[in-house]
Amino acid sequence: MKTILILFFIINVVLQAKYLDSETCKECHEKIYHEHSTSMHHKSSLFSDEVHRKVKEFSSKDKYSCALCHMPATKNLGAMIRGQEQPNAHEKRQTDGVSCSYCHQITKIHYSKPYNINFLNSSSNDKPTMFGNLKNSESSDKHNVQSNEIYKNSEVCMGCHSHKENSHGFEVCNTKDQYNSKSDCIGCHMPKSTGGNEKFNKKNRSEYATHSFLGIHSDKMIKKAVKLSLEYKDNTIELTIENKMGHSIITHPMRLKFVKTVVLRDGNIIWSNFAENPIEDKEATFIVVFEDAKSNQSMPHTATGYKINQNLKAMNTKIVKYSVPKLQKGDEIKSTWISYIINPNIAKKLDISTKDIIKPYIGTEKSIVVE
């Protein structure tokens, strides 16, 4: 009930403030606009993200509770969540996804059990205030500016990225157990680039925070996920996996991430840690599989527990040992990190065929030669 009251409060606040859609920022913040347009934040609504749309259709035909984080700038959030109104492809507030002005009007995060809530600026002014982290920033014709600590300590991310319970009160994703005041989401996901943040660069700034928010959809970022090390001694391969990210390896239940390890002799594979399915080697696989009340494998919306929960926390290390037949001098042991945006089993179930979504993303590789 409390959450519902808060929701109404927020909806009212959104209604009062004038909405500037993301395209209006392009006039001055050209580079940031282009970065943002390619980001999953811009593509977060069911109009632009096929995976999201299909999972949504699977969980509910008419209710769009997901709008809270995937289409947060919409005016009719409450009605959409309750299923009284349907998404509209002609509404900028909806197709904008996690929009510039939505993100930049968050003033405070309200922590609550089912999911956190973003508190927005409540000014009913025609000229909205954009919050950020710049020193000596000045207001423009389009908006005022104000600095706010949460754009520095990454707390602004936690309104949507913290955790989420399904209707059975089961937490289907969680980053919050890993988050603390030292978590630098912004440092890793908004790396600096040279130049000013707006066209005229009136303040002659030398760098700005980029807005592509790269993650699981980026080959470059996948390469930074983990560090792999290998050792071979007494017919045993020892693989060390170190999670280099500021969160668990699995933050979202759709993903599949694993290490493939092979031994090559004269270019031929003579041993591998699994034959067909990475889960054969559970210890080198990172995956979350849910079960429903009857212990059957389930999608997130009907989950009440875990069937498999193979994860590794931020900055933690894990060692996997393999007994192998005696290796010869010159044999190469090679480990490769592989990531799937969507577990191929789920992709099949949801009939997802977009190439970039179902392909394996190849991460870091490590190899040693037996001496």
Is residue 38 close enough to count as binding ligand HEC by CB under 6 A? no
**Tokens matching residue 346:** 């789920």
The nearest distance, CB 343 to ligand HEC, in angstroms, is 11
Q: Using the rule CB under 6 A, is 93 a contact of ligand HEC?
A: no
**Position 157 contacts ligand HEC (CB under 6 A):** yes
Burial 87-113 (b: 16+ CB within 10 A, else e): beeebebbbbbbbbbbbbbbbebeeee
Contacting ligand HEC within 329-368 (CB under 6 A) = 339, 341-342
Question: What is the nearest approach in angstroms of ligand HEC to the Cβ of residue 282?
Answer: 18
Tokens of 57: 């259709």
Give the nearer residue to ligand HEC in terms of CB position, either 237 or 245.
Answer: 245
Q: Closest distance between ligand HEC and the C-beta of residue 148, in Å?
A: 8
Closest distance between ligand HEC and the C-beta of residue 88, in Å? Answer: 18
Binding characters for ligand HEC, 43-62, by CB under 6 A (x = yes): -x----x-xx--xx--x---
Q: Compute, in degrees rounded to 10, the torsion defined by CA atoms 89, 94, 98, 99.
A: 100
Q: Which residue, among 43, 36, 129, 30, has the nearest Cα to 94 in the 3D structure? A: 43
How distant, in Å, are the alpha carbons of 55, 162, 320, 321, 333 from that of 238? 38, 34, 6, 5, 10
Report, in this order, helix, strand and coil percent for the chain, each rounded to 5: 25, 25, 45
> Least Å distance between CB 318 and ligand HEC?
15
Question: Is 239 an interacting residue with respect to ligand HEC (CB under 6 A)?
Answer: no
Choices 199-207, 273-281, 288-296, 305-313 (CB under 6 A): range interacting with ligand HEC: 199-207
d(CA 312, CA 322): 19
Q: Is 17 an interacting residue with respect to ligand HEC (CB under 6 A)?
A: no
Residues 97-126 that bind ligand HEC (CB under 6 A): 98, 100-101, 103-104, 115
Nearer to ligand HEC, 219 or 238 (CB): 219
Name the region of 100 (left: φ>0; alpha: ψ -120 to 50; beta: rest): alpha
Q: What is d(CA 74, CA 58) in angstroms, rounded to the nearest whole number?
A: 22
289 binds ligand HEC (CB under 6 A): no
Min dist. Cβ of residue 47 to ligand HEC (A): 11
Residue 298 in contact with ligand HEC, rule: CB under 6 A: no
Measured from the CB atom, the residue of 179 and 322 that comes closer to ligand HEC is 179
By CB under 6 A, name the one of 87, 94, 121, 151 that touches ligand HEC. 151
Tally of residues, the chain: 371
Q: Are strands 256-265 and 236-243 parallel, antiparallel or unpaired?
A: unpaired
By CB under 6 A, name the one of 179, 232, 290, 322 that touches ligand HEC. Answer: 179
